[in-house]
Amino acid sequence: MPKLTPIKSVLHRTFDGQIKSATISRTCSDKYYISVLVEEEINTLPKNDTIIGIDLGLKEFAITSNGQKYENPRTLKKYEKQYKRAQRRLSRKQKKSSNRNKQRKKLAKIHEKIANIRKDYLHKLSREIVNENQVIISEDLNVKGMIKNHKLAQAIADVSWSEFTQYLSYKSEWYGRTYYKIDPFYPSSQLCHICGYKNAETKNLNVREWICPKCGAKHDRDINAAKNILAKGLEDIG
């Protein structure tokens, strides 16, 4: 780097292609990173016939139309006590003191750890789904509106649905997949995917299974919703 002597660094990954730029940044925990922008050609994945609908939730993070359920890692909840303890200790430190600065770094490191674990999970899961499926359909969730529910706000923020759908979107574009989001107001949880009967009782999130009064089909709430999302998406795409 200009005006700097050689600096020891840890190379996160190797890359091929033309280097366009490099950006140096510092985190709140006083770690330095160099982000290297590289232009390279990405090879698309071989096409397959697999299509999938995804229902995003809180009990399980993602439920697919073929019945697979991906766990919600609940990263923030796992580190909540540790994070709150560090916050309390910081609040007791004298302002502008060295001890306060040390505690600030400890708190920042916990925050970074939570964010890194969450991102790692989202990247791995999104890549797995993109690798295995040619067409991927999910809901276009109104996260800003949903997070106004104070009882669920922390849990919704922790799952990072918006970030996950962003990963699905750009990875699908890179690797030659189709990713589509249906209308957020489509009642996917209320409809029987077999006969189309609308059951308003499923608005209650405590209803995890229900039997359709019209055709008698027994439904897992989330799998049924994922199948409806898939059908609606394919209908929209045509």
Q: Which residues are catalytic?
A: 55, 139, 222
According to DSSP, the residues that pair with 36 across neighbouring strands are: 22
Q: Which amino acid is at 190?
A: Q
Rounded distance between C-alpha atoms, residue 158 and residue 72, angstroms: 9
Rounded distance between C-alpha atoms, residue 205 and residue 191, angstroms: 14
Rounded distance between C-alpha atoms, residue 198 and residue 188, angstroms: 9
Rounded distance between C-alpha atoms, residue 238 and residue 236, angstroms: 5
According to DSSP, the residues that pair with 138 across neighbouring strands are: 54, 181
- How many CB atoms lie under 10 A from the CB of residue 40? 8
How far out from the chain centre does Cα 14 lie?
26
Q: Is 165 exposed, middle or buried (0-12, 13-18, 19+ CB in 10 A)?
A: buried
Rounded distance between C-alpha atoms, residue 128 and residue 123, angstroms: 9
